Amino acid sequence: MADSKPIRLDKAISQVTDLSRAEVKRAAKQERITVNGVAVSDPSSKIYESDELCLDGELLGEAGPRYFMLNKPLGYVCATKDGEHPTVLDLLDEPNKHKLHIAGRLDIDTTGLVLVTDDGQWSHRITSPRHHCDKTYYAQLADPIDDSAIDKFEKGIWLNNEKTRTKPAKLEILYRNEVRVTISEGRYHQVKRMFAALGNRVLELHRERIGQIDLDEDLAEGDYRPLTEDEIISVGNEST
């Protein structure tokens, strides 16, 4: 199997140690870093996931859990691999990407906030229905919607082929055919199917928020950043 995309040595080392990029650079110049047993003094050298990294003769372990938010563009799938389409993981320039997973998928034609991590317990608190982690979407609809839909969303909607109503959802009507919806479940194509059940159709769907984490306005489509400590610990603080 082909190795993963190479990444810069200084980035890889600073991810698995407390060293800043500048400190990694100094350590490399002092020949304190080896890659597969060979000292490497150029911090911009490219290395692969499978390479063995040592600092001062100590084998570097794995980095602690990692948490990222990403602004998903149209046309990307929320999967770790796909034969046909690019995946959101293709947008990440990180080592050991095979260890990361997506905490709550979006459809290929949905844009916006996607959280990626290697912490399975943390992502479970986002995706498990028991934890009632709210997700907020902006949607553009094919047809105008009237206020009676607010109550229907609040009471729960019967979706095709489902045995239970959807849990109470909040619908905010922004304009005649623009809405903001907050749901606490993650049923298959849930938002699109809720509007379909009312005879409407979602033309555009964009996730703005998961729990207390808002999509960073400074992230252009396709960009990502690590979560802040506050964002990480906010998950699980929702009511259960």
- Residues assigned a catalytic role: 107
- Alpha carbon dihedral 48, 50, 56, 58, in 10-degree steps, equals 160
Instruction: Pick between residue 17 and residue 182 the one whose CB is nearest to ligand URA.
Output: 182
Q: What part of residues 65-124 is at the interface with ligand URA (CB under 6 A)?
A: 106-107, 110
Binder among 111, 117, 123, 190 for ligand URA (CB under 6 A) = 190
Instruction: Pick between residue 66 and residue 195 the one whose CB is nearest to ligand URA.
Output: 195
> H helices of the chain, where?
9-16, 21-29, 120-127, 148-155, 190-197, 229-234
State the nearest-atom distance from the C-beta of 189 to ligand URA, in Å: 4
Q: What part of residues 15-74 is at the interface with ligand URA (CB under 6 A)?
A: none
Question: Taking the mean position of all CA atoms in its chain, how far away is CA 233?
Answer: 16
Site string for ligand URA, 140-179 (x = CB under 6 A): ----------------------------------------
Going by C-beta distance under 8 Å and a sequence separation of 6 or more, which residues neighbour residue 117? Answer: 65, 66, 67, 68, 100, 101, 103, 123
Of 103, 133, 107, 108, give the one whose Cα is nearest residue 119.
103
Binding site for ligand URA (CB under 6 A): 106-107, 110, 189-192, 205
